[in-house]
C-alpha cells in the first residue's frame, strides 16, 4: 500500500494501542450505510475495503474508477451473495467482514415475506459460516425491530406504567423480543433478523466466532432509501422519512399511517458511522457485544416528525406548505393486509456508552435540515421532469 494514501498520523484505539491497517470485506457497501462507511474509512484510515454489492451508484465516486489517492485502498466486487462462490474467497482475504445486506423496507415485509426471510436469514448464513470456519471477525447489521413490541404496549392505554422507562426503553441484554401473530407478515423481517442474531451468538459460544451485532434505530441522512420513480421503483414504498420526503418534493400531503401515533427516534448517519468506526477499531471492547445505535434525545411521534419536516422543507425549498399538509390513512390502505407495528422504539444507550464511549450529537431538526436540503437539491428537478412527462402523456 502506498504511504501517500494513508492519513498522516498513526491511529490508536480507545486503550491507546496502535490500530493496524485492516482489510475489510463490506457486503452491501453500495447502500446508504455502506456508502457513508466507505467514505469515512477512505478519508480517515488506512484500511482497505472490498466493496461487495450488486450496485455501486452511491459509491461510484469512490470506485468507478477509484481516485488516484485511493488506488489499492478500495475495490468494487459486483456479486450477489446468494449464489456466488467468490464470496468465501473475499472473506478469507479480509481481516473483518461487515454484513449490511438486507431487505429492510416495511412495505416489503407484507408483500414479499419470502424474499424478506431469505434475504435476512438464509442469505446471511454463508457469511456467518465462512467467518466462523476461517476465524474471521464479523460485524453484522441487525435491526431495532428485533425488539418487536414494548411490554408497555400490552397495558391499557391510560395505564400509568406505560410511562415508566422499564416498560418501553429497549435494552440489548434484558428486553424481550415480542412479535405479533404469524398472520401479521410484517414480523417476517424481525423474526429473520432475530434468528440470524441467535445463530451468530451461538457460533460465538460454541465455535469462538468473534462478532459484533449492530441494532440501528432509524439512521437518517443524505442517500438514504430511494425516491419512487426516480432512483427506485415507481410503486415502491420506502421508509417513513423517505416517504415524507417524496410527498414534500411532489407537493403532496404527507400520509400518516393510523394517525402517526407511533413513537420513533432518529439518529444522523454521520454520528452512527462514528459508532461503527469505533467498533471496527476496538475489537477488544466490541467483540461479543450487541449494540443499540440510536439517539433517544430525538424521540418524536410520526405525526410530530411530519410537522417538523413540513416546516423544515418550506424553509429549505422556499415553497409554502399545503393548506392541508397531512392526511390520515389506515395501515391496511397503505401497507395492505397483515401489517402490524410497535408503539415505541427508544434505545437504551448504556452498553455502547460504557464500551465505546459513544454518544450521538446531532439534534433532530439539524439532521432533517441536512437531509431535506440534500434531497431537494438532488431530486427536485428530476421529479419536476417526471411529473411534467406524466401530465403530457395523460
Nearest CA to 306 among 258, 344, 352, 339? 258
Please say if 379 is a catalytic residue: no
Identify the three-state secondary structure at position 110.
helix
What interhelical angle do 269-281 and 32-44 show, nearest 10? 60
Nearest CA to 174 among 163, 165, 162? 165
H or E element in which residue 204 lies: helix 188-207
For cell 470485506, what's the residue? 25
Q: Is the dihedral of CA 291, 294, 299, 301 positive or negative?
A: negative
Q: Which of 50, 109, 147, 189 is catalytic?
A: 189
User: Are 224 and 348 within 8 A, CB to CB?
Assistant: no
- The three three-digit cell numbers of residue 310, written as one number: 413540513
- The three three-digit cell numbers of residue 18, written as one number: 496502535
User: Are 62 and 39 within 8 A, CB to CB?
Assistant: yes
**Cα angle vertex 225, ends 223, 229, to 5°?**
100
Cis omega (within 30 of 0) for bond into 331: no
User: Are 105 and 97 within 8 A, CB to CB?
Assistant: no
Catalytic residues: 189
Amino acid at each position: 500500500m502506498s504511504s501517500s494514501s494513508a492519513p498522516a498520523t498513526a491511529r490508536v484505539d480507545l486503550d491507546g494501542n496502535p490500530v493496524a491497517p485492516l482489510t475489510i470485506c463490506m457486503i452491501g457497501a453500495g447502500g446508504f450505510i455502506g456508502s457513508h462507511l466507505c467514505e469515512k474509512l477512505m478519508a480517515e484510515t488506512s484500511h482497505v475495503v472490498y466493496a461487495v454489492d450488486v450496485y455501486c451508484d452511491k459509491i461510484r465516486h469512490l470506485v468507478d474508477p477509484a481516485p488516484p489517492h485511493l488506488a489499492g485502498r478500495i475495490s468494487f466486487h459486483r456479486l450477489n451473495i446468494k449464489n456466488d462462490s467468490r464470496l468465501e474467497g473475499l472473506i478469507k482475504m479480509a481481516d473483518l467482514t461487515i454484513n449490511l445486506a438486507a431487505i429492510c423496507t416495511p412495505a416489503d415485509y407484507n408483500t414479499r415475506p419470502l424474499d424478506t426471510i431469505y434475504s435476512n436469514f438464509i442469505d446471511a448464513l454463508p457469511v456467518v459460516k465462512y467467518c466462523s470456519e476461517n476465524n474471521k471477525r464479523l460485524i453484522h447489521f441487525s435491526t431495532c425491530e428485533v425488539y418487536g413490541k414494548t411490554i408497555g404496549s400490552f397495558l391499557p392505554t391510560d395505564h400509568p406504567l406505560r410511562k415508566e422507562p422499564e416498560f418501553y426503553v429497549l435494552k440489548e441484554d434484558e428486553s424481550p423480543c415480542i412479535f405479533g401473530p404469524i398472520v401479521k407478515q410484517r414480523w417476517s423481517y424481525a423474526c429473520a433478523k432475530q434468528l440470524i442474531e441467535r445463530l451468530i451468538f451461538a457460533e460465538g459460544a460454541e465455535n469462538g466466532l468473534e462478532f459484533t451485532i449492530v441494532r440501528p434505530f432509524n439512521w437518517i441522512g443524505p442517500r438514504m432509501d430511494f425516491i419512487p420513480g426516480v432512483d427506485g421503483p415507481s410503486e415502491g414504498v420506502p421508509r417513513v422519512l423517505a416517504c415524507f420526503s417524496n410527498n414534500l418534493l411532489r407537493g403532496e400531503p404527507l400520509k400518516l399511517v393510523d394517525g402517526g401515533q407511533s413513537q420513533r427516534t432518529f439518529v444522523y448517519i454521520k454520528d452512527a458511522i462514528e459508532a461503527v468506526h469505533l467498533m471496527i477499531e476496538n475489537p477488544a471492547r466490541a467483540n461479543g457485544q450487541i449494540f443499540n445505535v440510536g439517539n433517544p434525545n430525538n424521540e418524536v411521534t410520526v405525526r410530530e416528525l411530519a410537522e417538523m419536516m413540513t416546516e423544515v422543507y418550506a424553509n429549505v425549498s422556499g415553497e409554502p406548505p399545503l393548506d392541508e399538509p397531512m392526511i390520515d390513512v389506515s395501515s391496511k390502505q397503505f401497507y395492505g393486509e397483515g401489517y402490524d407495528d410497535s408503539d415505541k422504539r427508544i434505545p437504551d444507550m448504556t452498553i455502547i456508552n460504557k464500551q465505546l464511549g459513544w454518544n450521538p450529537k446531532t439534534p433532530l431538526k439539524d439532521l432533517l435540515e441536512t437531509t431535506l436540503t440534500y434531497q431537494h437539491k438532488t431530486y427536485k428537478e428530476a421529479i419536476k421532469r417526471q411529473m411534467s412527462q406524466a401530465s403530457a402523456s395523460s
